[in-house]
Amino acid sequence: MAAVRVLITRPEEDAELLVKDLAALGIGADVAPLIRIAYADGPAPDLAGVQALLVTSANGIRAFARLASERGLKVLAVGDASARAARNLGFTDVASAGGDVDDLAHLTVSMLEPDGGALLHVAGSKVAGDLAGLLDTAGFAYRRAVLYGAETAVVLPAVAQEGLAAGRYDGVVFYSPRTGDTFRTLVEAADMASGVAGLCAYCLSANVAARVSSLPWARVAVAERPDHAAMLALFGNP
């Protein structure tokens, strides 16, 4: 039986753990980042009156840690990957909502009190969902610090073009709607849609799957939950 190999479309830093864990399952991977993270320079965010940091991506807490030495604040993370990134950076009081922005809002309401101080959302220039609205409704003071931007690729990376053309892959891995949109657009622009015929699209959520479903995949697999463990479960029997 031929070895299974997939194409990962995540940024390099985010893809590292996935590559390692897939290798443990006997699955090879190439990384073709479709998004480049550009971290902000400048002063650290104002933490006066802040009771907790809200983190909706690992890049948010990485960006914060580049600018600020504070590690004692409570961190509420949208999912396990962002929570793990926070702990790896030295934060010790970390909780994961294990889901999406709605789950993070629910976790925040269950763990914190509005009169305990403001909530600082360390985020990128584009955010998904309405975390601010959900928390405002619950009576919390919400602030957002834009600490990074995500720049999308304008051409399909060479490793992806060559691998798809050569029939090197069994599937392509997608973790975000934006990455899915970018992949579909670039594949169609390069007239390479036929290169995914017969492959599986491994998607973090139904929303991600919707962005790539128009391509001629043999199968679109969606994780049961939007987290790393559930994504790995899709490869349980490669």
Model confidence pLDDT, tens digit, residues 184-194: 999 999 999 99
Q: In this model, does residue 1 exceed pLDDT 70?
A: no
Q: Choose one of 90, 124, 150: the last residue of a domain.
A: 150
Higher per-residue confidence, 225 vs 117? 117
Q: In this model, does residue 238 exceed pLDDT 50?
A: no
Domain contains 135:
yes
Question: What is the number of structural domains in the chain?
Answer: 2
Query: Do you know the residue count of the chain?
Result: 238
Q: In this model, does residue 61 exceed pLDDT 90?
A: yes
CA angle 120, 124, 129 (to 5 degrees): 75
Residues 72 and 50 in one domain: yes
Residues 143 and 204 in one domain: no
Share above pLDDT 90 across residues of the chain, in percent, rounded to a whole number: 79
Model confidence pLDDT, tens digit, residues 117-169: 999 999 988 777 789 999 999 999 999 999 998 889 999 999 999 999 999 99
pLDDT value of position 22: 95
- As a whole number, mean pLDDT of residues 18-31 equals 95
Axis-axis angle for helices 58-67, 80-88 (nearest 10): 20
- As a whole number, mean pLDDT of residues 177-183 equals 94
- Compute the mean pLDDT over every residue in the chain, rounded to the nearest whole number: 93
Alpha helices by DSSP H, the chain: 12-24, 58-67, 80-88, 101-111, 131-137, 158-165, 177-189, 206-212, 228-233
> What pLDDT band is residue 2 in, cutting at 50, 70 and 90?
low
pLDDT value of position 163: 96
Q: Choose one of 150, 166, 194: the last residue of a domain.
A: 150
Spatial distance between the Cα atoms of 208 and 199, rounded to a whole number of angstroms: 16
Residues 118 and 185 in one domain: no
Higher per-residue confidence, 227 vs 158? 158
Owner of token pair 């990962």:
8
Higher per-residue confidence, 2 vs 200? 200
CB of 100 closer than 8 Å to CB of 116: no
- 9: domain CATH number? 3.40.50.10090
> What pLDDT band is residue 76 in, cutting at 50, 70 and 90?
very high
Burial 2-27 (b: 16+ CB within 10 A, else e): eebbbbbbbbeebbebbbebbeeeeb
